[in-house]
Amino acid sequence: MNYPEFEYSVIKPFENFPIIDFSDPEDERKMREALKKVESELGREYPIVIGGEEIYTEKKIVSINPARYEEVVGVVSKGTKELADKALEVAWKTFEEWKRWPAWKRAEILLKASKIMKERVYELSAWMVKEVGKNWVEAWADVAETIDYLEYYSRQMLKYMNGQPVVQIPGERNEYRYIPLGVGVVIPPWNFPLAILAGMTLASIVTGNTVILKPASDSPVIGYKFFEIMKEAGLPDGVINFLPGSGAEVGNYLVLHPKVRFIAFTGSKDVGLRINELAAKHQKGQIWIKRVILEMGGKDAVVVDETADLEAAAEGIVASAYGFQGQKCSAGSRAIIVKDVYDKVVELVIEKAKKLKIGDPTEKENWFGPVINNAAVQKIMGYIEIGKKEGKLALGGNYLGEQMKGFFIEPTIFIDVPPDARIAQEEIFGPVLAIIKAEDFDDALRIANSTEYGLTGALYSKSKERIERAKEEFHVGNLYFNRKCTGALVGVQPFGGFNMSGTDSKAGGPDYLLLFMQGKSISERIV
């Protein structure tokens, strides 16, 4: 292929950006400097941006540090329905030009943004420590995943830029192209405030669409930092329109709007189903069936059989359940253990969970931080009360916010939980682990598949036969053996689940970009 004026005409094969553990003193020094820089910028005000125009509104979204709930991270202008209309108008006008940009040129902007992000990886990590309470490694991994999306989707777009080969017949020239959909709305979550926000947005724009980006109200500052980087990389005004706002007002209005062509959403099952319902209803003047791309929740299980390495299994259970305080759709919130090794694994899991260092993640040693906000505290503590009636509280269960001045809940473990208990069926999205005893491997697999979700799962076993069987019968979108059930890598483990976990999309996979395009068949008679 010939890519004129293409700075990255010789592109190396995709490689994941490395994740570090900050054991190197130089990495620690750079992170502490980045945290100081971020702390000097706390409390700043950020605008809505539509077509390059910065707009400040009277109503604001105040973003706070969940580890220090008296600390304001930033103040962001709050969008309205009128501004949503303006953003749609600008996005459609920009789309007419953006869709004509060569695919390689759109990809080039992503690669330039990747370069900028690599230079600012410590700073962006520090913003996540402050705005959503991620520990250093989790925050770094979030930025690394974002860099991976920039690199991976740019390369994938170059593969699709010439369409697909079709059968040729005498007297005709036939081709099959991909064209963009139009204007979409991107509604990301707060728990991966850079990676998931960027992943859905980048897939939208590299394929030729323009978008309205409505960041989560708990993490709008990080969303704005992403927007700034894309602009610095050369993205034209109006391709991404930054519109923070409430889901009830701005979100629902955009989902229903007849001029919205597609919606990309990641979040809870209830909100996802509501979006799907609203988007399915035809509106006056709407000339398409809206495309909806949903990634929702999970009630993910780590299964341990009697052949497993029990020490490794316990490590995996704790990492899966409590990474980022269990605030991941991929979190292993159920541990299903066969009875022969149940007591030993429970003992090991409790022992390891007790060692988790709780505190403000600004400090490197604090692996376990806060949950996101007071509403999350109320929900999680409500489930803990339910759990006390359904199983046996073996560890934790307390809210530590009064003394710590942040939204801290102890790592919590319930044992002897019935498979059909609410804490074993419903997504809690917090540091609550339900441990379930299974009679044998058959029973464990049945229990693992007994929820309405199907996102991630893990099996610890040394049995090749059981591993092969689980490949066929463990019904999840991302299945892992003898490792934790979180931490999917772009390009390596395309991410997305079945059933109530979403619309079967696979972010970071070879077919994800197809969700943001439509096929066009062209036939020309040869005269």
Task: Give the catalytic positions in this structure.
Answer: 295, 329
Residue 211 CA: distances (Å) to CA of 56, 107, 243, 263? 20, 16, 10, 9
What is the three-class DSSP state of 316? helix
Structure tokens at 322: 């409590």
In this structure, what are the phi and psi dihedrals at residue 233, rounded to the nearest 5 degrees? -75, -5
Structure tokens at 318: 């704790």
Structure tokens at 455: 């996102």
| Rg, the chain, Cα only | 23
Q: What letter represents residue 321's amino acid?
A: A
Structure tokens at 118: 């690599």
CB 436 within 8 A of CB 447: yes
How crowded is residue 355: how many other Cβ atoms within 10 Å of its Cβ?
9
Which among 502, 79, 513 has a CA at the least distance from the CA of 329? 502
CB 154 within 8 A of CB 111: yes
Gap between the Cα atoms of 516 and 101, Å rounded: 16
In this structure, what are the phi and psi dihedrals at residue 507, rounded to the nearest 5 degrees? -60, 140
Task: Give alpha helix (H) positions in 161-249.
Answer: 195-206, 220-232
Residue linked to tokens 């009128």: 82
Which among 169, 207, 203 has a CA at the least distance from the CA of 188? 203
Structure tokens at 419: 């498979």
In this structure, what are the phi and psi dihedrals at residue 211, rounded to the nearest 5 degrees? -140, 160
Gap between the Cα atoms of 29 and 17, Å rounded: 20
CB 292 within 8 A of CB 265: yes
What is the three-class DSSP state of 520? strand
